[in-house]
Structure 1
Protein backbone atom coordinates (compact mmCIF):
# COMPACT_ATOMS: atom_id res chain seq x y z
CA UNK A 1 0.00 0.00 0.00
CA UNK A 2 1.16 3.52 -0.77
CA UNK A 3 2.05 5.13 2.58
CA UNK A 4 0.29 8.29 1.44
CA UNK A 5 -2.97 6.38 1.93
CA UNK A 6 -2.37 6.00 5.68
CA UNK A 7 -4.94 8.06 7.55
CA UNK A 8 -3.44 9.24 10.83
CA UNK A 9 -5.78 8.70 13.75
CA UNK A 10 -8.33 6.82 11.63
CA UNK A 11 -9.09 3.18 12.41
CA UNK A 12 -5.71 2.94 14.14
CA UNK A 13 -6.54 0.00 16.43
CA UNK A 14 -6.24 -3.62 15.31
CA UNK A 15 -7.13 -6.57 17.54
CA UNK A 16 -5.92 -10.15 17.13
CA UNK A 17 -7.63 -13.33 18.26
CA UNK A 18 -6.43 -16.85 17.45
CA UNK A 19 -5.92 -20.38 18.69
CA UNK A 20 -2.15 -20.12 18.10
CA UNK A 21 -1.10 -20.06 21.78
CA UNK A 22 2.16 -18.46 22.89
CA UNK A 23 4.69 -21.26 22.36
CA UNK A 24 5.24 -20.60 18.67
CA UNK A 25 5.99 -17.54 16.56
CA UNK A 26 2.69 -17.39 14.66
CA UNK A 27 1.24 -14.40 16.55
CA UNK A 28 4.51 -12.46 16.39
CA UNK A 29 4.77 -13.12 12.65
CA UNK A 30 1.29 -11.67 12.09
CA UNK A 31 2.27 -8.60 14.11
CA UNK A 32 5.41 -8.27 12.02
CA UNK A 33 3.39 -8.33 8.81
CA UNK A 34 1.11 -5.63 10.20
CA UNK A 35 4.09 -3.50 11.25
CA UNK A 36 5.64 -3.78 7.79
CA UNK A 37 2.51 -2.23 6.32
CA UNK A 38 1.88 0.41 8.96
CA UNK A 39 4.04 0.52 12.12
CA UNK A 40 1.80 3.25 13.57
CA UNK A 41 -1.12 0.86 14.09
CA UNK A 42 -1.84 -0.12 17.68
CA UNK A 43 -2.21 -3.90 17.88
CA UNK A 44 -4.06 -5.37 20.88
CA UNK A 45 -4.22 -9.09 21.65
CA UNK A 46 -7.70 -10.28 22.56
CA UNK A 47 -6.93 -13.94 23.16
CA UNK A 48 -4.50 -16.47 21.70
CA UNK A 49 -5.37 -19.27 24.14
CA UNK A 50 -8.54 -20.41 22.38
CA UNK A 51 -8.67 -24.20 22.45
CA UNK A 52 -7.52 -25.33 18.97
CA UNK A 53 -10.37 -25.19 16.43
CA UNK A 54 -12.93 -24.11 19.06
CA UNK A 55 -15.04 -21.75 16.97
CA UNK A 56 -17.69 -21.39 19.68
CA UNK A 57 -15.09 -19.99 22.10
CA UNK A 58 -13.72 -17.61 19.47
CA UNK A 59 -17.23 -16.45 18.59
CA UNK A 60 -18.02 -15.67 22.22
CA UNK A 61 -14.74 -13.87 22.97
CA UNK A 62 -15.16 -11.59 19.96
CA UNK A 63 -18.78 -10.89 20.87
CA UNK A 64 -17.80 -10.13 24.47
CA UNK A 65 -14.90 -7.83 23.57
CA UNK A 66 -15.93 -5.67 20.61
CA UNK A 67 -18.10 -3.12 22.49
CA UNK A 68 -15.06 -1.91 24.44
CA UNK A 69 -13.04 -0.80 21.42
CA UNK A 70 -13.16 2.54 19.61
CA UNK A 71 -15.19 3.02 16.48
CA UNK A 72 -13.29 1.87 13.40
CA UNK A 73 -11.32 -0.90 15.13
CA UNK A 74 -10.33 -3.78 12.85
CA UNK A 75 -10.78 -7.19 14.49
CA UNK A 76 -8.67 -9.95 12.91
CA UNK A 77 -9.67 -13.44 14.02
CA UNK A 78 -7.91 -16.65 13.02
CA UNK A 79 -9.46 -19.86 14.31
CA UNK A 80 -9.54 -21.61 11.00
CA UNK A 81 -10.01 -25.39 10.79
CA UNK A 82 -10.75 -25.03 7.07
CA UNK A 83 -7.60 -23.11 6.16
CA UNK A 84 -6.53 -23.89 2.59
CA UNK A 85 -9.94 -25.23 1.64
CA UNK A 86 -12.66 -23.55 -0.41
CA UNK A 87 -14.01 -21.65 2.62
CA UNK A 88 -14.07 -17.92 1.92
CA UNK A 89 -11.71 -15.33 3.38
CA UNK A 90 -13.81 -12.27 4.24
CA UNK A 91 -13.93 -8.74 5.57
CA UNK A 92 -17.12 -7.31 7.08
CA UNK A 93 -17.99 -3.75 7.97
CA UNK A 94 -20.38 -3.05 10.84
CA UNK A 95 -21.27 0.08 12.79
CA UNK A 96 -18.33 -0.09 15.20
CA UNK A 97 -15.60 -1.31 12.87
CA UNK A 98 -14.47 -4.19 10.71
CA UNK A 99 -14.03 -7.97 10.93
CA UNK A 100 -11.36 -9.88 9.00
CA UNK A 101 -10.99 -13.65 8.97
CA UNK A 102 -12.42 -16.92 7.64
CA UNK A 103 -16.08 -17.31 6.75
CA UNK A 104 -16.74 -20.14 9.20
CA UNK A 105 -19.15 -18.59 11.72
CA UNK A 106 -16.46 -17.01 13.89
CA UNK A 107 -18.11 -13.58 13.52
CA UNK A 108 -21.70 -14.77 13.94
CA UNK A 109 -21.87 -13.67 17.58
CA UNK A 110 -21.07 -10.05 16.76
CA UNK A 111 -23.33 -10.15 13.72
CA UNK A 112 -26.21 -11.43 15.84
CA UNK A 113 -26.00 -8.10 17.67
CA UNK A 114 -24.78 -5.77 14.93
CA UNK A 115 -26.00 -5.60 11.33
CA UNK A 116 -23.38 -6.03 8.62
CA UNK A 117 -23.11 -2.89 6.48
CA UNK A 118 -20.95 -4.50 3.80
CA UNK A 119 -19.07 -7.74 3.24
CA UNK A 120 -16.41 -8.78 0.71
CA UNK A 121 -14.57 -11.93 -0.19
CA UNK A 122 -10.85 -11.16 -0.06
CA UNK A 123 -10.08 -11.76 -3.73
CA UNK A 124 -7.82 -8.75 -4.41
CA UNK A 125 -4.34 -10.24 -4.13
CA UNK A 126 -2.78 -6.75 -4.20
CA UNK A 127 -3.58 -6.57 -0.49
CA UNK A 128 -2.22 -10.03 0.39
CA UNK A 129 1.33 -10.43 1.65
CA UNK A 130 2.19 -12.26 -1.54
CA UNK A 131 0.37 -13.77 -4.49
CA UNK A 132 1.99 -17.08 -3.50
CA UNK A 133 0.39 -17.98 -0.18
CA UNK A 134 0.71 -20.81 2.31
CA UNK A 135 -2.13 -23.33 2.45
CA UNK A 136 -1.79 -23.48 6.24
CA UNK A 137 -1.20 -19.87 7.39
CA UNK A 138 -3.74 -17.45 5.95
CA UNK A 139 -3.38 -15.41 9.14
CA UNK A 140 0.04 -14.31 7.94
CA UNK A 141 -0.55 -14.18 4.19
CA UNK A 142 -4.10 -12.81 3.90
CA UNK A 143 -5.77 -11.71 7.14
CA UNK A 144 -2.93 -9.73 8.76
CA UNK A 145 -2.03 -7.71 5.63
CA UNK A 146 -5.66 -7.12 4.69
CA UNK A 147 -6.49 -6.02 8.24
CA UNK A 148 -3.50 -3.67 8.33
CA UNK A 149 -4.47 -2.09 5.01
CA UNK A 150 -8.09 -1.74 6.11
CA UNK A 151 -7.01 -0.08 9.37
CA UNK A 152 -4.77 2.26 7.37
CA UNK A 153 -7.60 3.65 5.28
CA UNK A 154 -8.09 1.29 2.32
CA UNK A 155 -11.84 1.11 1.57
CA UNK A 156 -13.35 -2.31 2.19
CA UNK A 157 -14.70 -2.39 -1.40
CA UNK A 158 -11.13 -2.45 -2.75
CA UNK A 159 -10.30 -5.67 -0.91
CA UNK A 160 -12.33 -7.99 -3.08
CA UNK A 161 -15.64 -9.10 -4.48
CA UNK A 162 -18.74 -7.84 -2.67
CA UNK A 163 -20.90 -10.60 -1.20
CA UNK A 164 -24.33 -10.70 0.40
CA UNK A 165 -23.96 -10.50 4.22
CA UNK A 166 -26.89 -12.92 4.47
CA UNK A 167 -24.68 -15.57 2.84
CA UNK A 168 -22.11 -15.52 5.67
CA UNK A 169 -21.74 -18.78 7.59
CA UNK A 170 -23.60 -18.90 10.90
CA UNK A 171 -22.24 -20.98 13.76
CA UNK A 172 -24.98 -23.21 15.11
CA UNK A 173 -25.58 -22.23 18.74
CA UNK A 174 -28.83 -23.34 20.37
CA UNK A 175 -31.01 -20.30 20.99
CA UNK A 176 -32.61 -19.82 24.39
CA UNK A 177 -36.39 -20.21 24.56
CA UNK A 178 -38.89 -18.95 27.11
CA UNK A 179 -42.07 -20.67 28.19
CA UNK A 180 -43.77 -18.89 31.03
CA UNK A 181 -41.31 -18.55 33.90
CA UNK A 182 -38.86 -21.11 32.46
CA UNK A 183 -36.06 -20.14 30.07
CA UNK A 184 -34.16 -22.99 28.42
CA UNK A 185 -30.66 -22.39 27.09
CA UNK A 186 -27.22 -23.93 26.82
CA UNK A 187 -23.59 -23.39 27.82
CA UNK A 188 -22.01 -21.20 25.14
CA UNK A 189 -18.61 -20.58 26.75
CA UNK A 190 -16.34 -21.84 29.55
CA UNK A 191 -13.80 -19.37 30.85
CA UNK A 192 -10.33 -19.77 32.39
CA UNK A 193 -11.85 -20.22 35.87
CA UNK A 194 -14.20 -22.97 34.75
CA UNK A 195 -17.24 -20.70 34.95
CA UNK A 196 -20.05 -21.95 32.71
CA UNK A 197 -21.47 -19.07 30.67
CA UNK A 198 -24.95 -19.70 29.29
CA UNK A 199 -26.68 -18.06 26.34
CA UNK A 200 -29.44 -16.73 28.60
CA UNK A 201 -29.26 -12.94 28.95
CA UNK A 202 -29.07 -11.58 32.48
CA UNK A 203 -32.01 -9.30 31.71
CA UNK A 204 -34.30 -12.33 32.09
CA UNK A 205 -33.55 -12.53 35.81
CA UNK A 206 -33.00 -8.88 36.66
CA UNK A 207 -34.94 -8.01 39.81
CA UNK A 208 -36.27 -11.58 40.10
CA UNK A 209 -35.86 -14.48 42.49
CA UNK A 210 -34.58 -17.37 40.41
CA UNK A 211 -32.67 -20.63 40.22
CA UNK A 212 -30.95 -22.77 37.62
CA UNK A 213 -31.76 -26.40 36.94
CA UNK A 214 -29.21 -28.65 35.21
CA UNK A 215 -30.48 -32.21 35.17
CA UNK A 216 -31.14 -33.11 38.81
CA UNK A 217 -28.91 -30.29 40.08
CA UNK A 218 -30.60 -27.16 41.46
CA UNK A 219 -28.42 -24.04 41.78
CA UNK A 220 -29.57 -20.85 43.52
CA UNK A 221 -29.55 -17.56 41.66
CA UNK A 222 -27.51 -14.97 43.56
CA UNK A 223 -25.61 -11.72 42.97
CA UNK A 224 -22.01 -12.38 44.08
CA UNK A 225 -19.75 -15.42 44.44
CA UNK A 226 -19.59 -14.86 48.20
CA UNK A 227 -23.35 -15.38 48.57
CA UNK A 228 -22.63 -19.10 48.96
CA UNK A 229 -20.02 -21.02 50.94
CA UNK A 230 -16.62 -21.88 49.46
CA UNK A 231 -16.86 -24.81 46.99
CA UNK A 232 -20.63 -24.43 46.65
CA UNK A 233 -22.33 -23.89 43.30
CA UNK A 234 -23.92 -20.57 42.43
CA UNK A 235 -25.72 -19.02 39.48
CA UNK A 236 -25.31 -15.32 38.79
CA UNK A 237 -25.09 -12.77 36.00
CA UNK A 238 -21.45 -12.35 35.00
CA UNK A 239 -19.71 -9.16 33.88
CA UNK A 240 -20.47 -10.19 30.27
CA UNK A 241 -24.22 -9.90 30.93
CA UNK A 242 -25.10 -13.62 30.63
CA UNK A 243 -26.34 -16.03 33.28
CA UNK A 244 -23.44 -18.23 34.38
CA UNK A 245 -22.83 -21.12 36.75
CA UNK A 246 -19.80 -20.95 39.03
CA UNK A 247 -18.24 -22.50 42.10
CA UNK A 248 -17.16 -20.13 44.85
CA UNK A 249 -13.34 -20.47 44.79
CA UNK A 250 -13.56 -23.49 42.51
CA UNK A 251 -14.01 -24.76 38.95
CA UNK A 252 -17.62 -25.39 37.93
CA UNK A 253 -16.77 -27.31 34.76
CA UNK A 254 -14.67 -29.94 36.54
CA UNK A 255 -16.70 -30.11 39.75
CA UNK A 256 -20.13 -30.28 38.13
CA UNK A 257 -19.09 -32.12 34.95
CA UNK A 258 -21.02 -29.70 32.76
CA UNK A 259 -19.65 -28.91 29.30
CA UNK A 260 -20.08 -26.93 26.08
CA UNK A 261 -23.62 -26.93 24.66
CA UNK A 262 -25.09 -28.73 27.70
CA UNK A 263 -28.63 -27.54 28.36
CA UNK A 264 -29.92 -25.75 31.43
CA UNK A 265 -33.08 -24.06 32.64
CA UNK A 266 -33.49 -20.76 34.42
CA UNK A 267 -36.64 -20.77 36.54
CA UNK A 268 -38.02 -17.43 37.70
CA UNK A 269 -39.74 -17.76 41.05
CA UNK A 270 -41.04 -14.22 41.43
Structure 2
Protein backbone atom coordinates (compact mmCIF):
# COMPACT_ATOMS: atom_id res chain seq x y z
CA UNK A 1 0.00 0.00 0.00
CA UNK A 2 2.26 2.78 -1.21
CA UNK A 3 -0.44 5.03 -2.62
CA UNK A 4 -0.08 8.59 -1.35
CA UNK A 5 -3.27 10.41 -0.32
CA UNK A 6 -4.44 13.10 2.08
CA UNK A 7 -6.45 12.44 5.23
CA UNK A 8 -7.71 15.45 7.22
CA UNK A 9 -8.55 15.15 10.91
CA UNK A 10 -10.93 17.25 12.99
CA UNK A 11 -12.09 16.57 16.54
CA UNK A 12 -12.93 17.99 19.95
CA UNK A 13 -10.10 16.02 21.59
CA UNK A 14 -7.79 18.97 22.27
CA UNK A 15 -4.03 18.45 22.41
CA UNK A 16 -3.43 17.82 26.12
CA UNK A 17 -4.08 14.08 25.81
CA UNK A 18 -2.78 11.43 23.44
CA UNK A 19 -6.07 10.89 21.57
CA UNK A 20 -5.05 12.75 18.41
CA UNK A 21 -1.63 11.13 18.34
CA UNK A 22 -2.97 7.60 18.61
CA UNK A 23 -5.45 8.27 15.80
CA UNK A 24 -2.47 9.22 13.65
CA UNK A 25 -0.72 6.09 14.82
CA UNK A 26 -3.71 3.98 13.77
CA UNK A 27 -3.55 5.59 10.32
CA UNK A 28 0.19 4.96 10.05
CA UNK A 29 -0.27 1.30 10.96
CA UNK A 30 -2.35 0.93 7.80
CA UNK A 31 -0.28 3.17 5.53
CA UNK A 32 2.59 5.33 6.83
CA UNK A 33 2.91 7.03 3.42
CA UNK A 34 -0.36 8.94 3.85
CA UNK A 35 -0.33 12.69 4.42
CA UNK A 36 -2.33 13.60 7.52
CA UNK A 37 -3.48 17.21 7.96
CA UNK A 38 -4.92 18.50 11.23
CA UNK A 39 -7.85 20.85 10.60
CA UNK A 40 -8.43 21.49 14.29
CA UNK A 41 -8.79 19.51 17.48
CA UNK A 42 -10.16 22.47 19.45
CA UNK A 43 -13.85 22.13 18.58
CA UNK A 44 -15.74 22.84 21.83
CA UNK A 45 -16.50 19.50 23.52
CA UNK A 46 -19.52 17.69 22.02
CA UNK A 47 -20.33 20.71 19.82
CA UNK A 48 -21.51 19.07 16.61
CA UNK A 49 -22.76 22.37 15.18
CA UNK A 50 -19.31 23.96 15.49
CA UNK A 51 -17.74 20.94 13.82
CA UNK A 52 -20.32 21.11 11.04
CA UNK A 53 -19.43 24.75 10.40
CA UNK A 54 -15.65 24.23 10.46
CA UNK A 55 -15.65 21.26 8.11
CA UNK A 56 -18.08 22.99 5.74
CA UNK A 57 -15.66 25.91 5.47
CA UNK A 58 -12.51 23.81 5.12
CA UNK A 59 -13.09 21.04 2.59
CA UNK A 60 -12.92 23.31 -0.48
CA UNK A 61 -9.23 24.00 0.19
CA UNK A 62 -8.18 20.37 -0.23
CA UNK A 63 -7.51 18.39 -3.41
CA UNK A 64 -10.34 16.29 -4.76
CA UNK A 65 -10.21 12.81 -3.30
CA UNK A 66 -9.22 13.92 0.20
CA UNK A 67 -10.65 11.81 3.03
CA UNK A 68 -12.02 14.01 5.84
CA UNK A 69 -12.31 12.38 9.27
CA UNK A 70 -14.45 14.33 11.73
CA UNK A 71 -14.91 13.04 15.27
CA UNK A 72 -17.18 15.04 17.55
CA UNK A 73 -19.15 12.14 18.81
CA UNK A 74 -21.20 12.43 22.00
CA UNK A 75 -23.14 9.33 20.90
CA UNK A 76 -20.07 7.09 20.63
CA UNK A 77 -20.86 3.51 21.59
CA UNK A 78 -24.61 4.01 21.17
CA UNK A 79 -26.83 2.99 18.28
CA UNK A 80 -25.71 5.96 16.15
CA UNK A 81 -24.15 4.74 12.89
CA UNK A 82 -20.50 4.96 11.92
CA UNK A 83 -20.43 6.02 8.26
CA UNK A 84 -18.33 6.87 5.24
CA UNK A 85 -19.77 9.12 2.55
CA UNK A 86 -18.60 9.81 -0.97
CA UNK A 87 -19.25 13.29 -2.36
CA UNK A 88 -17.87 15.19 -5.33
CA UNK A 89 -14.74 16.45 -3.57
CA UNK A 90 -13.78 13.27 -1.71
CA UNK A 91 -14.95 11.25 1.27
CA UNK A 92 -16.28 11.90 4.78
CA UNK A 93 -15.68 9.44 7.63
CA UNK A 94 -17.18 9.74 11.10
CA UNK A 95 -20.38 9.44 13.12
CA UNK A 96 -23.80 9.86 11.53
CA UNK A 97 -24.87 12.68 13.83
CA UNK A 98 -25.20 15.63 11.45
CA UNK A 99 -21.54 16.59 11.53
CA UNK A 100 -21.36 16.27 7.72
CA UNK A 101 -24.63 18.03 6.96
CA UNK A 102 -22.95 21.37 6.20
CA UNK A 103 -20.62 19.89 3.60
CA UNK A 104 -23.43 17.86 2.07
CA UNK A 105 -25.68 20.92 1.86
CA UNK A 106 -23.12 22.37 -0.56
CA UNK A 107 -21.99 19.18 -2.29
CA UNK A 108 -24.57 16.38 -1.97
CA UNK A 109 -23.67 12.82 -1.09
CA UNK A 110 -23.15 10.40 -3.96
CA UNK A 111 -23.21 7.22 -1.90
CA UNK A 112 -22.82 6.28 1.75
CA UNK A 113 -22.11 3.14 3.74
CA UNK A 114 -22.42 2.11 7.34
CA UNK A 115 -19.00 0.90 8.52
CA UNK A 116 -19.94 -2.67 9.31
CA UNK A 117 -16.92 -4.53 7.89
CA UNK A 118 -14.59 -4.99 10.86
CA UNK A 119 -11.82 -6.24 8.55
CA UNK A 120 -10.96 -2.57 8.07
CA UNK A 121 -11.16 -1.55 11.73
CA UNK A 122 -8.14 -1.52 14.03
CA UNK A 123 -9.75 -4.32 16.00
CA UNK A 124 -12.99 -6.30 15.62
CA UNK A 125 -13.76 -5.36 19.24
CA UNK A 126 -13.46 -1.57 19.25
CA UNK A 127 -13.56 0.54 22.38
CA UNK A 128 -17.05 1.77 23.18
CA UNK A 129 -15.60 5.23 23.83
CA UNK A 130 -12.99 5.72 21.08
CA UNK A 131 -14.26 4.93 17.60
CA UNK A 132 -11.95 7.64 16.28
CA UNK A 133 -8.98 5.38 16.96
CA UNK A 134 -10.52 1.98 16.39
CA UNK A 135 -12.87 2.56 13.44
CA UNK A 136 -12.71 5.99 11.78
CA UNK A 137 -8.93 6.45 11.53
CA UNK A 138 -8.12 2.98 10.12
CA UNK A 139 -11.13 3.04 7.79
CA UNK A 140 -9.96 6.41 6.43
CA UNK A 141 -6.47 5.02 5.94
CA UNK A 142 -7.78 2.00 4.01
CA UNK A 143 -10.01 4.25 1.91
CA UNK A 144 -7.07 6.56 1.15
CA UNK A 145 -5.02 3.52 0.20
CA UNK A 146 -7.42 2.38 -2.48
CA UNK A 147 -9.98 0.17 -0.73
CA UNK A 148 -13.36 0.78 -2.45
CA UNK A 149 -16.09 2.40 -0.39
CA UNK A 150 -18.46 -0.53 -0.90
CA UNK A 151 -15.95 -2.87 0.78
CA UNK A 152 -16.24 -0.96 4.06
CA UNK A 153 -19.83 -1.85 4.87
CA UNK A 154 -23.42 -1.92 3.71
CA UNK A 155 -24.86 0.87 1.59
CA UNK A 156 -27.40 3.12 3.30
CA UNK A 157 -30.19 5.33 2.01
CA UNK A 158 -28.85 8.86 1.56
CA UNK A 159 -32.15 10.27 2.78
CA UNK A 160 -31.53 8.59 6.13
CA UNK A 161 -28.33 10.55 6.90
CA UNK A 162 -28.81 12.66 10.01
CA UNK A 163 -29.27 16.38 9.41
CA UNK A 164 -28.71 19.02 12.07
CA UNK A 165 -31.75 21.23 12.63
CA UNK A 166 -30.42 24.53 11.31
CA UNK A 167 -32.82 27.51 11.20
CA UNK A 168 -33.41 28.88 7.71
CA UNK A 169 -32.83 32.47 6.70
CA UNK A 170 -35.85 34.76 6.40
CA UNK A 171 -35.50 37.41 3.73
CA UNK A 172 -37.42 40.34 2.29
CA UNK A 173 -36.35 43.05 -0.11
CA UNK A 174 -35.03 45.18 2.75
CA UNK A 175 -33.90 42.77 5.45
CA UNK A 176 -32.43 39.35 6.16
CA UNK A 177 -32.91 37.57 9.48
CA UNK A 178 -30.40 34.94 10.54
CA UNK A 179 -28.46 33.85 13.60
CA UNK A 180 -24.92 33.43 14.93
CA UNK A 181 -23.71 29.99 13.86
CA UNK A 182 -20.08 30.07 15.03
CA UNK A 183 -17.68 32.06 17.21
CA UNK A 184 -13.99 31.91 16.38
CA UNK A 185 -11.06 32.26 18.81
CA UNK A 186 -10.92 36.01 18.19
CA UNK A 187 -14.50 36.34 19.41
CA UNK A 188 -15.82 37.17 15.95
CA UNK A 189 -19.53 36.35 15.68
CA UNK A 190 -20.08 34.51 12.41
CA UNK A 191 -23.63 34.46 11.12
CA UNK A 192 -25.38 32.08 8.74
CA UNK A 193 -25.94 34.89 6.24
CA UNK A 194 -23.90 34.48 3.05
CA UNK A 195 -21.78 37.45 2.07
CA UNK A 196 -23.23 37.29 -1.41
CA UNK A 197 -26.58 38.41 0.06
CA UNK A 198 -25.28 41.82 1.14
CA UNK A 199 -24.50 44.39 -1.53
CA UNK A 200 -24.12 48.14 -1.34
CA UNK A 201 -24.89 49.83 1.99
CA UNK A 202 -26.10 47.65 4.84
CA UNK A 203 -26.03 47.27 8.61
CA UNK A 204 -26.73 44.64 11.25
CA UNK A 205 -29.18 45.01 14.12
CA UNK A 206 -28.57 42.64 17.02
CA UNK A 207 -29.82 42.86 20.59
CA UNK A 208 -30.99 46.45 19.95
CA UNK A 209 -27.59 47.58 18.64
CA UNK A 210 -27.10 48.78 15.04
CA UNK A 211 -23.68 47.89 13.62
CA UNK A 212 -22.53 49.36 10.29
CA UNK A 213 -21.40 47.13 7.46
CA UNK A 214 -17.87 47.60 6.14
CA UNK A 215 -15.08 45.91 4.22
CA UNK A 216 -12.32 45.46 6.84
CA UNK A 217 -11.89 45.19 10.60
CA UNK A 218 -10.19 48.60 10.62
CA UNK A 219 -13.20 50.26 8.95
CA UNK A 220 -14.44 51.17 12.42
CA UNK A 221 -12.58 52.99 15.22
CA UNK A 222 -10.53 50.87 17.63
CA UNK A 223 -12.82 49.17 20.12
CA UNK A 224 -15.92 49.68 17.95
CA UNK A 225 -18.11 47.06 16.31
CA UNK A 226 -18.08 46.42 12.58
CA UNK A 227 -20.00 43.97 10.39
CA UNK A 228 -18.25 42.53 7.35
CA UNK A 229 -17.92 39.50 5.12
CA UNK A 230 -15.16 37.28 6.50
CA UNK A 231 -12.71 35.11 4.58
CA UNK A 232 -15.09 32.19 5.07
CA UNK A 233 -17.73 34.00 2.99
CA UNK A 234 -20.25 34.60 5.80
CA UNK A 235 -21.31 37.90 7.36
CA UNK A 236 -19.67 38.34 10.74
CA UNK A 237 -19.62 40.86 13.58
CA UNK A 238 -16.24 41.92 14.95
CA UNK A 239 -14.66 44.48 17.26
CA UNK A 240 -11.69 46.36 15.84
CA UNK A 241 -8.89 45.20 18.13
CA UNK A 242 -11.26 43.45 20.52
CA UNK A 243 -13.51 40.47 21.17
CA UNK A 244 -17.10 40.81 19.93
CA UNK A 245 -18.45 37.91 21.95
CA UNK A 246 -17.24 39.38 25.24
CA UNK A 247 -17.94 43.03 24.44
CA UNK A 248 -21.42 42.51 23.01
CA UNK A 249 -22.36 39.62 25.33
CA UNK A 250 -23.73 37.55 22.45
CA UNK A 251 -23.57 33.81 21.95
CA UNK A 252 -24.41 30.97 19.61
CA UNK A 253 -27.90 31.13 18.18
CA UNK A 254 -28.43 34.86 18.80
CA UNK A 255 -30.81 36.38 16.26
CA UNK A 256 -29.34 38.93 13.85
CA UNK A 257 -31.09 41.19 11.35
CA UNK A 258 -29.43 42.72 8.33
CA UNK A 259 -31.01 45.94 7.10
CA UNK A 260 -30.39 46.56 3.39
CA UNK A 261 -30.34 50.09 2.05
CA UNK A 262 -31.94 49.74 -1.41
CA UNK A 263 -31.83 53.47 -2.20
What is residue 262 of structure 1 aligned with on the other side?
Answer: 254
Paired residue for 1:155, among 127, 148, 162?
Answer: 148
Q: 2:232 aligns with which of 231, 240, 243?
A: 240
1:69 maps onto 2:24 in alignment:
no
Which residue pairs with 2:93 in the alignment? Answer: 100
Runs of 4+ in 1 over 6 A off after TM superposition: none
SS in 1 for 2:139: helix
Quick check: 1:81 aligned with 2:57? no
CA drift of 1:168 comes to 0.5
Secondary structure at 1:43's aligned position in 2?
Answer: strand
Match of 1:191 in 2: 184
1:23 is aligned to 16
**Alignment partner of 1:200: what SS?**
strand
Unaligned 5+ runs, structure 2: none
Partner deviation per Cα, 1:39-94 (whole Å, 9 max, x = no partner): 01000000000110011110011000000000100000000000000000000000
Instruction: State the secondary structure of the residue aligned to 1:234.
Output: strand
TM-score, structure 2 normalization: 0.98
Over the aligned positions, Cα root-mean-square deviation in angstroms equals 0.8
Q: Tell me the matched-pair count.
A: 262
Per-residue displacement from partner, 1:146-181 (whole Å, max 9, x unpaired)? 000001111101100100111100111112121221
Q: Match of 1:71, SS?
A: coil
- CA offset at residue 215 of structure 1? 2.4
- Name the CA distance, whole Å, in 2 between partners of 1:92 and 1:85: 20
1:228 alignment partner, one of 192, 215, 220? 220
Deviations 1:104-146 (A, max 9, x none): 0000000010010000000001111111110000000000000
Equivalent residue for 1:109, pick from 102, 115, 132: 102
TM-score by length of 1: 0.96
1:206-221 maps to which residues of 2 (within 5 A)?
A: 206=199, 208-221=200-213
Q: Kindly indicate whether the alpha-carbon contact (under 8 Å) linking 1:173 and 1:188 is maintained by their aligned counterparts in 2.
A: no
**What stretches of structure 1 of length at least 5 have no aligned partner?**
none
In structure 2, what is the equivalent of residue 252 of structure 1?
244
How far apart, CA to CA, are the structure 1 residues paired with 2:254 and 2:207?
A: 10
Partner in structure 1 of residue 6 of structure 2: 13
- Secondary structure, counterpart of 1:174 in structure 2: coil
